[in-house]
Amino acid sequence: MHLRYLILAILLAMVGVVGAQETEKKPNIVFIFSDDHAWQTISAYSDKLMKTPNFDRIAKDGIVFKNAYVPNPICGPSRANVLTGKYSHANHYYRNGTEPFDVSQWTFPKEMQSAGYDTAIIGKWHLGNEAVPPGFNYSLVLVGQGAYYNPTFIEDPKGDGNRERIQITGYATDVITDRSLDWLKKQRAQDPDKPFMLMLQHKAPHRPWMPALRHLDAFENDTIPEPPTLFDDYEGMPRAARLADMRIADTMNDNDLKLKRMAGLNDEQRAVWDAKYGPRNEAFRKMNLKGKDLVRWKYQRYVKDYMRCILAMDENIGRVLDYLDEANLTKDTIVIYCSDQGFFMGEHGWFDKRWIYEESLRTPFMVRWPGHTPPGTVSKDIVSVIDFAPTFLDIAGQPIPADVQGRSLLPLLNGKTPDDWRKSFYYHYYEYPGWHSVRKHYGVVDGRYKLAYFYEMDMQEWLLVDLEADPLEQRNFYNDPKYADVQQRLHAELEKLRADLKVPEKDPKESYPVGEPY
């Protein structure tokens, strides 16, 4: 008799444990995404340019990924990579400016709703249309690229497709954060036990790098260090590098450099703006700079404005972290920061992105997850934006579709790298003809070496990079006899990745500009 009761007690205890596991609260997720953020301007990555104390709070309390790569370094396609967990050839969004992203295809937010999450997207959408995919209880997204000042949004208050345009006075980075905090507070008030997923997506620091008014004097009396390749002659680089149209010297226009009347400011904002830039621009014109002196002035104006935009982002990330602390949400909330790709800060004389080179290929990516991710962790594992969708599903306890090409980062976030974690990564850039005239190329990277192929009929050329021998990426080691084994290995790996990922041999017509011959 006693034995029977003992067995019954054990069984009930086991049921209780299972029940507790099944009802364990899912973590909240705050996913902060930006546009064109150079990892060089986050002091957790490099302190040569500026300090970013609030970005560094995430890094200090969590994990910094040093080899976070993007499959396709351009704004819209990278966002499609995030939503689908797939490469551009699998989600059919190859480039900006073509057909809008197909919102009828599978994206992860709807699965988060099914897992019991309240979901919201606030900020930049930039996928060619005004419709966000199913799966968001609330959306407030910028129209097109969005304006830095007094931006216009499309709001869907109930996630039912009934949208309206609203304009909000203020600076975009502040406004997006204001509305995100408003949503969080409302969500907590309505259902404090329900987990939430907020996608907070900044416009900054996208071109034309318009700072908040409070930061117009920041760095003004400083001389920002120049990259050693600011005056690169591209002699050892592929021919495509010489043909690209993204040089600070001759591509930046008066709008980029704040030498003309900037659009979007109201009268009060413009008075403050003109009081700062007016005298500076007048002094610049009197100097009548030429040659390298002119390039150096443009570099200083560009980098200072860019870093001023980062100051506002850093402040607003601090506001989000402070709110989580004040609302006792920190221990139950995963905070993720990432950009859609990296950006050139004068390296090779360039601004913008679009290359397999480090400044463009690598994106800043850091995660804080108290109780799971060991504080102060630095990872060199190869990760990517295509890993977000399966990671979120894994966290929510949802199945990961078989055709998702990314992989859950959950083991890495818990401090353990699986033995079979990827050792190489496939990359593919499609947007040519297009802005900045960077030629199409695909390749493979492994953390030290890169093999890339510029594959158009008039531009067929291979590139081999060794980051240890040439960290500035100014040389091409392809066909160097010393690299014969490396070259052969990377060719084999590239062919394998293209086959495994089912990359079409010929780029599909939808990857070409509308009206371009195919």
Residue 514 has a pLDDT of 79
Give the tokens for residue 492.
């084999």
Looking at residue 501, what is its pLDDT? 98
User: Which residues are CB-neighbours of 495 under 8 A, at least 6 positions away?
Assistant: none
Per-residue model confidence as pLDDT tens digits over 405-445: 999 999 999 999 999 999 999 999 999 999 999 999 999 99
Confidence of residue 17 (pLDDT cuts 50, 70, 90): very low
Amino acid at 363: T
Q: Looking at this protein, which amino acid is placed at residue 230?
A: L
The first and second tokens of residue 53, run together, are 């104390």
Residue-wise pLDDT tens digits, 283-340: 999 999 999 999 999 999 999 999 999 999 999 999 999 999 999 999 999 999 999 9
SS3 category, 393 = helix
Structure tokens at 448: 């030290």
Q: How many CA atoms lie within 13 A of 290 on its CB side?
A: 0
d(CA 307, CA 92): 34
**DSSP H/E element including 274:** helix 267-287
Q: Which domains does the chain have, with CATH numbers?
A: 26-210+310-420 (3.40.720.10), 215-302 (no CATH), 427-511 (3.30.1120.10)
DSSP 209-233: ----GGGTTTTTT--PPPPTTTT--
Q: Rounded distance, CA 425 to CA 14, Å?
A: 43
Q: Report the run of H or E that residue 166 belongs to, with start and end.
A: strand 164-167
Q: Specify whether the backbone of 82 is left (phi greater than 0), alpha (psi in -120 to 50) or beta.
A: alpha
Please count the other Cβ atoms lying within 10 Å of the Cβ belonging to residue 287. Answer: 10
- 28-34 vs 461-466, strand pairing mode: unpaired
Q: pLDDT tens digits for 258-286?
A: 999 999 999 999 999 999 999 999 999 99
Q: Say what angle helices 291-326 and 53-61 make with each other, to 10 degrees.
A: 60
Residue whose token pair is 């993720």? 336
- Rounded CA gap, 154 and 57, in Å? 32
Q: Residue 344: what residue type?
A: F
Pairing between β-strand 425-429 and β-strand 441-445 as defined by DSSP bridges: antiparallel
**Rounded Cα–Cα distance for residues 205 and 233 (Å):** 27
**Cα–Cα distance, 305 to 300 (Å, whole number):** 8
Hey, CA dihedral for 134, 136, 139, 142, is it positive or negative?
negative
Asked if pLDDT for residue 18 goes beyond 50, the answer is: no
Q: What is the dihedral of CA 49, 61, 68, 385, to 10 degrees?
A: -120
229-248: pLDDT as tens digits: 999 999 999 999 999 999 99
- pLDDT of residue 9 exceeding 60: no
pLDDT in tens, 363-381: 999 999 999 999 999 999 9
- What pLDDT does 399 receive? 97
Confidence (pLDDT) at 28: 98
Give the predicted TM-score (pTM) of the model: 0.94
**For residue range 164-203, what is the model confidence (pLDDT) as tens digits?**
999 999 999 999 999 999 999 999 999 999 999 999 999 9
How far is the C-alpha of 161 from the C-alpha of 313, rounded, in Å? 30
Indicate the length of the chain as a whole number: 518
Mean pLDDT of 383-411: 98
Which residue do the tokens 């992105």 mark?
353
According to the model, what pLDDT value does residue 23 have?
Answer: 53
Q: Please give the helix or strand (H or E) that residue 141 lies within, else none.
A: strand 138-142
pLDDT surpassing 70 at residue 20 = no
196-201 β-sheet, strand order:
164-167, 152-156, 138-142, 118-123, 196-201, 28-34, 333-339, 365-368, 63-69, 377-384
Alpha carbon of residue 91 to chain centroid: 18
**260: amino acid identity, one letter:** K
